[in-house]
Amino acid sequence: MEAAATEDRHEQEGKTTVVALDESEQSLYALSWALQTINFRESDKLLLLHAKSSPISSAALAGPGYVLSSEMIISMERAQEREINAFMSKAMELCKEKQVNSEKYVVPGDARDVICEVVEKLHANVLVVGSHGYGAVKRVLLGSVSDYCAHRVKCPVVIVKKPSKKADQEKH
């Protein structure tokens, strides 16, 4: 069995799971799902990947003719930095609780490109991504990040949907 042979090699080398995070509850749920569902061994690694968009490009969504001073840009960048750090620390803490080796990667760029590039470069074994993160406006304009990645990366992709509270109540 080909998959079994590949598995034997990974058993020694350790597998790399990439979880794409974007400060949304959706992506934190995707991480929790991965920690609970995937069978992590000691040699395995979970990579917490955050694509950091430029605060200027985010501000551009406010409309054309919106001018930012350099102080405003620096201030926005610092605020973004603090938010990302707090979020990533929370994510690292969840991994620690489950005794899963984790590393964080904050990479500047568009989430779609960053995720596909990192997954490819690291020869990741699985990519976990929330179904509805990365901003509603961009999703309408460019399609969902999860769809984009599912079509482009070579490894298995898990698209995690956070169940609505109503659906969860109905189920139990």
Binding site for its own copies (CB under 8 A): 1-4, 6-7, 9, 29-30, 32-33, 36-39, 94, 123, 125-126, 146-147, 150, 154-161, 163, 167-168, 171-172
Smallest distance, its own copies to C-beta of residue 123, A? 5
Q: Which is nearer to its own copies, 142 or 150 (CB)?
A: 150
Instruction: Specify whether the CB–CB gap between 78 and 138 falls below 8 A.
Output: no
Smallest distance, its own copies to C-beta of residue 78, A? 29
Smallest distance, its own copies to C-beta of residue 115, A? 15
Smallest distance, its own copies to C-beta of residue 158, A? 5
Q: Which is nearer to its own copies, 51 or 144 (CB)?
A: 144
Q: Mark 130-164 as b/e (b = at least 16 C-beta within 10 Å).
A: bbbbbbeebeeeeebbbbbbeeebebebbbbebee
Spatial CB neighbours of 87, under 8 Å, sequence gap ≥ 6: 21, 23, 28, 50
Q: Which is nearer to its own copies, 63 or 121 (CB)?
A: 121
Q: Cα 159 vs. chain centroid, distance in angstroms?
A: 11
Angle between the 145-152 and 111-121 helix axes, to the nearest 10 degrees? 30
Q: Which is nearer to its own copies, 6 or 43 (CB)?
A: 6
